[in-house]
Amino acid sequence: MIYEAHETAVIDEGAQIGAGSRIWHFAHICGGARIGEGCSFGQNTMVADGVTIGSNVKVQNGVSIYSGTEVEDDVFLGPSCVLTNVTNPRSQVRRHALYEQTLIKLGATIGANATIVCGVTIGRYAFVAAGAVVAHDIPDYGLVVGVPGRLQGWMSRHGHRLTDPDDDGIMICPESSYRYREESGALCCLDLDEEEPLPPELSEGRQNYHHFKKEFLP
């Protein structure tokens, strides 16, 4: 076995799970699921048939990933966040062939207890705050807060809110010092291509968020 699974986890025959992935207590991976390398699935998680999950994805306790969902590499799904696959469910109406597609792109974060209404795309490195309800697409690096979820700004690849653009519109991440700029309503990183992995020296956090919040935010 190239992955680790707790004895209480249920792994259905046919499930594809990449090397180094870990599956914890009472998780259920259905036979039609495809999971990449180095992923982690917490207690009471479920991955349904037809779901594709990339590598280095962290799925926290109590998350169910239903058919119709695609999760790219490096995504974080916070505790008890909710993913759906039918906008107008009725017990009396079968819609198994009508699941709506949800795409969570590279490096995105979904906060604890957030709800993602199906049929949306969550952009690369987007950040959905805890408890938010998302019913619309989110652009790359977008920060969405509240009920209903609204775009409130931008988050860096390291998970810091970007503020105070200079005269050239450049905003700097306080942790990585990477520069970001909004162009035509979209944010891009000027120092590292979005598809490139972080260099090793920037892949290990050295200060908790409250340090940066106190130092850099009003």
Q: What secondary structure letter does DSSP report for 159? A: S
The reply to whether 164 falls in a domain is yes
Residue 165 inside a domain? The answer is: yes
69 domain-assigned: no
In a domain, 182, yes or no: yes
83: left (phi over 0), alpha (psi -120 to 50) or beta: beta
Q: Tell me what the mean pLDDT of segment 180-187 comes to.
A: 92
Fill in the DSSP letter of residue 192. Answer: S
Looking at residues 4-18, what average pLDDT do you find? Answer: 97
Decide if 171 is inside a domain.
yes
In a domain, residue 172? The reply is yes
For residue 155, what pLDDT is reported?
97
For 101-138, b where at least 16 C-beta lie within 10 A, e where not — what string? ebbbbbbbbbbbbbbbbbbbbbbbbbbbbebbbbeeeb
Asked if pLDDT for residue 150 goes beyond 60, the answer is yes
**If pLDDT is split at 50, 70 and 90, which confidence band does 176 have?**
very high
**3 within some domain:** no
Q: Look up residue 212 and give its two tokens.
A: 């940066």
Question: What's the pLDDT tens digit per position in 21-77?
Answer: 999 999 999 999 999 999 999 999 999 999 999 999 999 999 999 999 999 999 999
Give the residue ranges of DSSP H helices in the chain.
Answer: 209-216
Structural domain span for residue 166: 157-218
Domain count, the chain: 1
216 has pLDDT over 90: no
Q: What is the rounded average pLDDT of the residues 188-206?
A: 92
pLDDT given at position 213:
67
CB neighbours of residue 208 within 10 Å: 8
Which stretch of 82-91, 96-105, 184-193, 209-218 has the lowest confidence by average pLDDT?
A: 209-218
The answer to the question of residue 8 being in a domain is no
